[in-house]
Amino acid sequence: MSQSYVLLDRDGVINYDSDDYIKTPDEWIPIPGSLEAIALLNNHGYKVVVITNQSGLSRGFYNEITLAEIHKKMFDLSKAKGGNIEKIYICPHGPDDNCQCRKPNPGMLTDFAKENNKSLTDIYFIGDKLADIQAAIAAGANPILVKTGKGQRTIKNNPDINYPIFENLYDAAKFIVSEK
């Protein structure tokens, strides 16, 4: 059987988001149920990969060492709940850098697909922003929107979104494992 994956945005999906950026490990606080959702996906045979814009790097709000400490906290807390995150794809660029990796561009998703020799047509990408939905569509993945983070704002500003919408990552994970 081919390995199954679920791709997740980080801020607003796994952890609480902030308009002021998540700049330290102390500011990285998991959304209730998100770490359990990762464990649920893992327990049903899915590998979890994070796809995240981190323009705070290019803006000088934090450095790569601090980002690694934030991600270590995410890995450790996930493991404590029985979950595992396989890999994190990061776009360090700002919105004016014209890169192909910054969502809504599909670069990080297509890099994942190439590195894992995967078609994205059967892979879900869960996010809370329109850019996440747009990146999933551009890459050929299946978008899911969650209402956490900026999800409510995304729904309000884009009432015509016709992709699956769930309250949170745990509800989205339950949906995914029920389809398998």
The set of catalytic residues is 9, 11
Cβ atoms of 102 and 55 closer than 8 Å: yes
